[in-house]
Amino acid sequence: MEYRGKTNEYLKLTEVATPSNCHVLKEVIESSLTLLWFEDDDNIVEIDSVVHHFSKNQIVALTEFHKVEPKKVSKAKLLRFNRSFYCILDHDDEVGCKGILFFGASQLPIIHIDETNLEVLQTVWKMFLLEMESKDVLQQSMLQMMLKRFLILCTRMYKLQTKHPKEKVNVDIVREYNYLVEQNFKQIHNVGEYAKLLNKSPKTLSNVFAKMGKKTPLQYIQDRIMLEARRLLRYTDKGISEIAYELGYEDLQTFSRFFKKQEGMAPVKFREYIC
């Protein structure tokens, strides 16, 4: 089911399964975000050249920039919306998913639905479908309300599962850092520059990320660069030098050394391997 508004608002809810309609996972809708909710076990989806196995009641959050190749989808629900329908950046104070579910600096968010929230999510989905059939002046507002509820639930679950810092100030720092990396990783490669943009010291950033027990601020930058490098090598015909320049490297040698250190092989070998 699709909703299209008068000013390019777009919302799609549909059931997905192979081989009937998995092509929808490969569709590229400008400025769109997607939540894919698996309802059965035994699902295989390649995302940015990495094969992922998904189980029942897992949700993966995707942006328009993810390259998705469905291999096997037993049964899943797809929720997709564009910026015109609901902009998570403009409404960050309402749903708080910027830098967590979406634009999280190369991190692929996979949410495990717990028993407490499963029934709630199923109810929201049913209400979504009912509102899709309503054709009155309040339809878009109601659909946006359902979407906000869905996003808030997913964000809460993911934050609990990934042990985001409980202090609001630390959560905000992590989210804003992730979003800044997403916006600037091609031009800015060092933590100090991002620290300046956040009016924080590099040490403060390191301490905040250390509380999460995961990646360092520098690893977030490097992982985002590598994600884009793999995408460009796999899905485009651009030369290695052109890719290096696009990712902010002035010379091919520096980029090749960085790529080999991260991936274990040179860019040209990587392209030969995946193709």
pLDDT digits (tens, 9 = 90+) for 128-138: 999 999 888 88
Q: Is 223 helix (H, G, I), strand (E, B) or coil?
A: helix
Give the residue from 188, 178, 274, 181 showing the smallest Cα distance to 231: 274
Question: Within this chain, do residues 134 and 267 fall inside the same structural domain, yes or no?
Answer: no
The CATH number for 212's domain is 1.10.10.60
For residue 183, give both structure tokens. 């916006």
pLDDT digits (tens, 9 = 90+) for 104-135: 776 789 999 998 899 999 999 999 999 999 88
Residues 6+ apart with CB under 8 A from 173: 198, 200, 204, 205, 208
pLDDT digits (tens, 9 = 90+) for 34-89: 999 999 999 999 998 889 999 999 999 999 989 999 999 999 999 999 999 999 98
Q: Which residue has the tokens 């059965």?
A: 40
By residue range, what is the domain housing residue 244? Answer: 168-274
Per-chain mean pLDDT for the chain: 91
DSSP state, residue 248: T
pLDDT digits (tens, 9 = 90+) for 190-241: 999 999 999 999 999 999 888 876 689 999 999 999 999 999 999 899 999 9
Query: What is the share, in percent, of the chain residues with pLDDT greater than 90?
Result: 70
Cα distance between residue 70 and residue 246, in whole Å: 28
Peptide bond into 19 cis (omega under 30): yes
Q: Is 178 helix (H, G, I), strand (E, B) or coil?
A: helix
Question: Within this chain, do residues 262 and 176 fall inside the same structural domain, yes or no?
Answer: yes
pLDDT at residue 91 is higher than 80? yes
Question: Within this chain, do residues 130 and 252 fall inside the same structural domain, yes or no?
Answer: no
The number of folded domains in the chain is 2
Question: Within this chain, do residues 94 and 25 fall inside the same structural domain, yes or no?
Answer: yes
Q: Is 21 left (phi over 0), alpha (psi -120 to 50) or beta?
A: alpha
pLDDT at 113: 96
Question: Within this chain, do residues 129 and 195 fall inside the same structural domain, yes or no?
Answer: no
pLDDT at residue 167 is higher than 60? no
